Amino acid sequence: MNFRIPILKLRDTLIVSIQWELDDQTAIQFQEDLLNKLHETSARGVVIDLTSVDFIDSFIAKVLGDVISMSSLMGARVVITGIQPAVAITLIELGIRLEDVMTALDLENGLDKLQLELEA
């Protein structure tokens, strides 16, 4: 499975909704695509919706953590939405701390939270 994850732009925000379990190649492609899109659009925020993701392995968790750090280095605030319990457990067990990352239960709340942060 080598699908590309769609990255949508809404005003100054990039929206990513991951709709399936990621394999390693798709995760790396997503990382490259998101960073390139940030560079091209100068977006100030990114919302990554994980509602449909029930499980992540250690490599995917590391890539997700890297994507968040890299997006921050490029000047974008990141909100992660829809984290499932198993995904949260995996991230913590692997030592991937999302301390500076905003989270929300769903995409709508994540967009609201990001908008408030960007207006501040």
Instruction: Name the residue among 14, 28, 25, 84 with its Cα closest to residue 52.
Output: 84
The boundaries of the domain holding residue 74 are: 7-119
CATH number, domain with residue 31: 3.30.750.24
Q: What local confidence, expressed as pLDDT, does residue 82 receive?
A: 95
Q: Quick one: average pLDDT of 20-44?
A: 93
Between 97 and 14, whose confidence is greater? 14
Among 15-24, 33-42, 107-116, name the one with the lowest average pLDDT.
Answer: 15-24
pTM across the whole model: 0.91
Determine, yes or no, domain membership for 2: no
**How confident is the model over 5-23, as a mean pLDDT?**
92
Tokens for 66, please give them: 């890297």
- Confidence class for position 97, pLDDT limits 50, 70, 90: confident
Classify residue 30: in a domain, yes or no.
yes
Flag whether 90 is in a domain. yes
Mean pLDDT of the chain: 91
The residues near 101 (Cβ < 8 Å, ≥ 6 apart) are 68, 78, 79, 80
Asked if residue 11 is part of any domain, the answer here is yes
pLDDT at 38: 96
How many structural domains compose the chain?
A: 1
Pairing type for strands 45-49 and 13-17 reads parallel
Question: What is the CA 4 to chain-centroid distance, rounded?
Answer: 14
> How much is the average pLDDT of 39-66?
92
